[in-house]
């Protein structure tokens, strides 16, 4: 993979992304909206701050990464842009990665804004930022792969609003696991939204994973406590890559 080609394509994709005001709103405003809850919460504890921060990062993964890549890939496929790119010097991997990079960069920008706001408001900075960065990077790979899989059965950019719904609901269901019966909890814990929430609880606030985990854990134990969440996110990445690899189409159907 050539860095020059990759960065050049990524810069072009970022410029095109910034010219669409609706895309900018979805990519920036929507992910940051849950942080308003941090201001409204009176109790400055990790337990209180975990849900707003988790929602913020999940929105960043769903919109700048997942939905933006889905709509961009479908639009450029139907306009034969991808076909022309593949006839040049760029490899398939460079084309795909360059399309995902602007959204991935926004995820980490949103995470940085969330960290600053949480620190200023007294919720604390991430306790294990390296673990958080690793988890977010894996999450970006998972949602990017799911976007490419969804694009395979999305006929046009307008249809993406419907075809993306199952993945959006699947991800959001994990954040609402407290509202489901206890028997459903083990299954909901396997969803990407739940895994991300557990990762935030452990890596950011040093809390036990799970909706009932309230004990504070030592920094040295955070990697071990986060392993189930990381494994879940890796699993979704593998599933997404396999599905996308079997179904991806670079040209529109005749």
Total-model pTM = 0.93
What are 142-186's pLDDT values in tens digits?
Answer: 999 999 999 998 988 889 989 999 999 999 998 888 778 888 888
44 occurs within a structural domain: yes
The mean pLDDT value for 99-108 works out to 95
- Residue 45's domain comprises 3-247
191 sits in the region (left: phi over 0; alpha: psi -120 to 50; else beta) called: beta
Give the bridge partners for 1, in sequence order: none
CA dist 190 and 166 (Å) reads 16
Range of weakest confidence among 38-42, 84-88, 145-149, 205-209? 38-42
CA dist 29 and 87 (Å) reads 36
218 sits in the region (left: phi over 0; alpha: psi -120 to 50; else beta) called: beta
28 occurs within a structural domain: yes
188 occurs within a structural domain: yes
Per-residue confidence band for 25, with pLDDT thresholds at 50, 70 and 90 = confident
Q: What is the average pLDDT score of the chain?
A: 90
pLDDT of residue 211: 67
pLDDT of residue 47: 81
92 occurs within a structural domain: yes
Task: From 45, 36, 55, 57, select the one nearest 124 (Cα to Cα).
Answer: 45
What are 175-230's pLDDT values in tens digits?
Answer: 888 778 888 888 889 999 999 999 999 999 998 887 665 668 888 899 999 999 99
253 occurs within a structural domain: no
254 occurs within a structural domain: no
105 occurs within a structural domain: yes
The mean pLDDT value for 137-142 works out to 97
252 occurs within a structural domain: no
The mean pLDDT value for 116-130 works out to 93
Three-state SS for 216?
A: strand
Range of weakest confidence among 60-64, 91-95, 212-216? 212-216
pLDDT of residue 40: 86
As for how many domains the chain has, the answer is 1
């Amino acid at each position: 993979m050539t860095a020059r080609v990759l960065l050049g394509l990524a810069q072009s994709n970022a410029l095109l992304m910034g010219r669409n005001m609706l895309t900018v709103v979805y990519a920036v405003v929507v992910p940051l909206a849950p942080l308003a809850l941090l201001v409204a919460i009176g109790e400055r504890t990790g337990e209180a701050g975990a849900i707003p921060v988790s929602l913020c990062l999940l929105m960043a993964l769903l919109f700048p990464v997942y939905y933006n890549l889905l709509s961009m890939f479908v639009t450029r496929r139907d306009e034969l842009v991808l076909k022309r790119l593949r006839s040049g010097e760029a490899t398939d991997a460079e084309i795909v990665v360059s399309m995902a990079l602007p959204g991935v960069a926004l995820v980490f920008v949103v995470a940085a804004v969330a960290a600053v706001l949480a620190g200023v408001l007294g919720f604390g900075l991430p306790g294990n930022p390296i673990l958080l960065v690793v988890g977010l990077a894996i999450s970006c790979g998972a949602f990017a792969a799911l976007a490419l899989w969804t694009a395979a059965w999305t006929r046009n950019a307008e249809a993406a609003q419907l075809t993306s719904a199952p993945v959006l609901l699947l991800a959001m269901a994990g954040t609402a696991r407290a509202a489901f019966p206890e028997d459903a909890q083990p299954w909901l814990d396997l969803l990407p939204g739940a895994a991300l929430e557990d990762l935030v609880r452990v890596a950011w606030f040093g809390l036990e994973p799970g909706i009932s985990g309230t004990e504070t854990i030592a920094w040295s134990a955070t990697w071990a406590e986060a392993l189930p969440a990381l494994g879940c996110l890796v699993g979704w990445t593998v599933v997404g890559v396999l599905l996308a690899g079997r179904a991806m189409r670079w040209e529109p159907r005749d």
